A and B are shown apart, each in its own frame.
Chain A
Amino acid sequence: MSLPPDLEQPAGHDESRRTFLKQSSLLTALTFVPGPVVQAATNELDEKVAAAFEKVPLKLEVNGVKHKLSVEPRTTLLDLLRENLNLTGTKKGCDYGQCGACTVHVDGQRVNSCLSFAVMHEGKKITTIEGLAEGDKLHPMQEAFVKHDGFQCGYCTPGQIMSAVACVREGHAGSEAEIREYMSGNICRCGAYSNIVAAIQEVKNGGQKV
Chain B
Amino acid sequence: MNQFQYVRPSKQQAAIDAVAKDPNATFIAGGTNLVDLMKRGIATPQKLVDINRLPLARIDADPGKLRIGALALNSTVADDKQVRERQPLLAQALNAGASAQLRNMATVGGNMLQRTRCSYFYDLAMPCNKREPGSGCGALEGINRMHAIFGFSDKCIAVHPSDMSVALVALDATVLVSGPKGERRIPFIDFHRLPGDTPEKDTNLEKGELITAVDVPDGPFTKYVHYQKVRERASYAFALLSVAAALDIENNTIKAARLAMGGVAHKPWRLTAAEQLLVGKPATEDTFRQAAEVAMQGAKAFKHNAYKIKLGPNTIVQALRTAASAA
Contact = CB atoms under 8 A, between A and B. Distances in A.
Assess A/B contact in the complex (Cβ within 8 A). Answer: yes
Interface of A: 3, 6-15, 54, 56, 72-74, 76, 95-97, 100, 103, 109-112, 114-117, 119-120, 122, 163, 166-167, 170, 172, 180-186
B32 A115 contact: yes
Interface of B: 1-10, 14, 28, 30-32, 35-36, 38-39, 46-48, 50, 52-53, 75, 98-102, 104-105, 234-236
B102 A185 contact: yes
Given A163-B101, A182-B100, A185-B99, A6 B9 contact: yes
Given A13-B4, A119-B6, 13 more contacts: A6-B8, A7-B8, A13-B3, A74-B1, A109-B75, A112-B102, A116-B31, A116-B105, A120-B50, A120-B52, A170-B100, A183-B100, A184-B236
Contacts of A95: 39
Contacts of A166: 100
A170 to B, nearest CB: 7
Contacts of B39: 95-96
A94 B319 CA distance: 33
B100 A167 contact: yes
A142 B30 CA distance: 29
B98 to A, nearest CB: 7
B327 to A, nearest CB: 21
Contacts of A185: 98-102, 236
B53 A3 contact: yes
A8 B100 contact: no
A115 B6 contact: no
A115 B4 contact: no
B9 A172 contact: no
A20 B52 CA distance: 31
Contacts of B235: 180-181, 184
A19 to B, nearest CB: 14
Nearest to B2: A74
A166 B54 CA distance: 26
Contacts, number: 111
A45 B151 CA distance: 53
A97 B235 CA distance: 14
The 8 closest A-B pairs by CB, nearest first: A185-B99, A184-B235, A73-B6, A6-B10, A7-B8, A10-B5, A184-B236, A109-B104
B31 A117 contact: yes
Contacts of A11: 6
A117 B100 contact: no
B100 A163 contact: yes
Given A109-B104, A185-B98, A117 B35 contact: yes
A153 B101 CA distance: 22
Contacts of B75: 109
A166 B103 CA distance: 13
A100 B36 contact: no
A117 B5 CA distance: 12
B57 to A, nearest CB: 13
Contact of A97 (B4, B8, B32, B48): B32
A97 B102 contact: yes
B122 to A, nearest CB: 10
